[in-house]
A and B are shown apart, each in its own frame.
Chain A
Amino acid sequence: MSALMQVEGVHRAFSVSRGLFARKRTLHAVNGIDLEIEKGEVLGIVGESGCGKSTLARILLGLIPASAGRIALSGTDLRGLDRRVLAARVQPVFQDPYGSLNPRKRIASIVALPLAVHGMGDRTEQRRRAIEMLERVGLPARLADNYPGQLSGGQRQRVAIARALVMRPEIVICDEPTSALDVSVQSQILNLLMDLRQEFGLTYVFISHNLAVVEHIATRVAVMYLGRVVELAPAAEIFARPRHPYTQALLASVLTPEPGKGLPDTHLGLAFPDPLDPPPGCGFNPRCAYARAVCRERVPAFSEDGPAKAACHAYDPTFGKEFA
């Protein structure tokens, strides 16, 4: 089966100005990413702040162009096509439901915006479909003429989901959709997303730094570090047996509810490296407990280990024995 969305060698650099006379520096926010998103899956993307998760989300949504690489939907290259071709099939749910809804528009017109942009139906038809979608996401139709300021955070996120789904897209890119919400509301939104996935046959790209949420919702997980995917594996596999040292550290960093255990030791002594000046070789080598000479010289390629793929020299048959 061919993938629904193919991401090949996608790269995004930002030019960072550091004052009037300083030379401009290049920041590689996303540094060569290959992913295949299969129909119906929930691909979790995890990583710490600054690893390029959100930049990747914006590239997938067509909000910023990739500096290099290509993105294809069902085999059709998107470069040079009208942005609406992508928009009809890929829609976002953003993190902050306070910022993602225009405070000066009524709920019904916010949800109907995609229909209006794509010229689907007349005004009454658009409004009818918007209200229908509001009810699908668990909001009463009487909220249609309210403003976002009159809604709670959870209600607002439901509005954002309704807007994303009103055009019946195939892929929904959720960029930390629950991290701005109260814990009690988070699970409601997650369950709603899961129900809607069943109902509409959706594919999710689910970006989060919350591993518990990803474990709950994802079928496959990509771990990102410094603009690269360092591990890609089925969700059950990644949580049972993490391959990459960074994934291991990430899983060890999850706080436990047991009192008296203290903060977990992640062995990540050093801070996140400066993305403007990444370390040579494997980006993770300064923080890695197993780093060897080769890690400081070569960028590791993906090595398969069972159902998982890890970009780590320890799993590479050529260098692996060095780590034994």
Chain B
Amino acid sequence: MDAALPSRSSVLRSRILGHAGLMTGLVLLAAALVCAIFAPLLSPHDPYFQDLSARLVPPVWHPRGDWLHPLGTDNLGRDYLSRTIYGARVSLLIGLSVMVVSGLIGTAMGLAAGYFGGRTDMVVSFVVTARLAMPVVLVALAVVALVGGSLVVVIAVLGLLKWDRFAVVMRAATQQARAQDYVAAAKATGASTFRVLLGEVLPNILPQLVVVATLEMASAILLEAALSFLGLGVQPPLPSWGLMVSEAKAYMFFSFWMIAIPGTALGLLVLAINLVGDGIRDVAAPEGRA
């Protein structure tokens, strides 16, 4: 009879390949990752090199554009394609780091609250509520005003602030998993709480965790862009898409591409991450359940 059962990996593969949204997201995300990792190889120019004789060159499809700068140059004559490619580094680095930091904090809190319940749950829920009462942008503004803005500060501030959704979702998922008999059976074998949490509960709430993680990564990237746009995030001349939009806003009536190009890159990356998150949720039904 098991000969008739398709293997688990082949079922998963066909489910992934058949999911148009997931595939679109994966392709876009892969492109962004390639840009971020191989930025020095892919960019035609040094993203920091200023050529004041070639300021505000329009992109190649414009009558005044040329192939030397395919996406034109900015107000300081820096090659826009190179800056956009390097910008993927900042966005992905911040998105991933914030996701990991806040994911670790939030998942630990949610697991503890959902599994132990009672007083632990009350304390965690209170901390989550207290955290939700703090506006992220205002807190970030205060921190940057105190210690100055930089990549590390942005990651730290966002990572230490954005664990709330992890905690809330993991708490609810853990509460559900905890009531299952397989948890009782594992406890009845004498397994330690740590083993029950990591071996029995966590694998069953992993799909929810992955979905929250992608959503949080997308939102961290958007927040970084917003902070950088306000001048509170990463500092010039580092090429961040939010910073590029900010620098371009003075020229948006004359050189609209300066704002459109990083804006499009940002939009596509966030779209890709959200598509991947949604796709994983659809694909990751428990093994053997079609």
Contacts and interface: CB of A to CB of B under 8 A. Distances in A.
Interface in A96-128: 96, 99-105, 113-114, 117-118
Interface residues of A, number: 38
A101 B182 contact: yes
Contacts of B182: 99-103
Nearest to B286: A103
Interface in B176-221: 180-182, 184-192, 195, 199-200, 203-204, 206
> Would you call the interface of chain B mostly helix, strand, loop, or mixed?
helix
Given A87-B190, A117-B191, A147-B288, A104 B185 contact: no
A147 B8 contact: yes
A103 B204 contact: yes
A113 B189 contact: yes
Q: For A61, A103, A105, A160, which residue has the most chain B Cβ atoms within 10 angstroms?
A: A103
Nearest to B207: A104
Interface string B159-182: 000000000000000000000111
Nearest to B200: A102
A103 B287 contact: yes
Q: For A101, A117, A143, which residue has the most chain B Cβ atoms within 10 angstroms?
A: A117
A96 B181 contact: yes
A44 interface: no
Contacts of B287: 103-104, 147, 149-150
Contacts, number: 91
Contact of A94 (B181, B190, B200): B181
Contacts of B186: 102, 113, 117
B190 A105 contact: no
Given A94-B181, A146-B288, A147-B288, A104 B203 contact: yes
B185 A94 contact: yes
A92 B180 contact: no
A113 B289 contact: no
B5 interface: yes
A258 interface: no
A142 interface: yes
Q: For B181, B185, B195, B199, which residue has the most chain A Cβ atoms within 10 angstroms?
A: B185
23 contacts: A58-B184, A61-B184, A63-B187, A87-B188, A87-B190, A91-B188, A94-B181, A96-B181, A100-B184, A101-B185, A102-B200, A102-B204, A103-B182, A103-B286, A113-B186, A114-B190, A117-B191, A142-B2, A146-B5, A147-B8, A147-B286, A149-B289, A150-B2
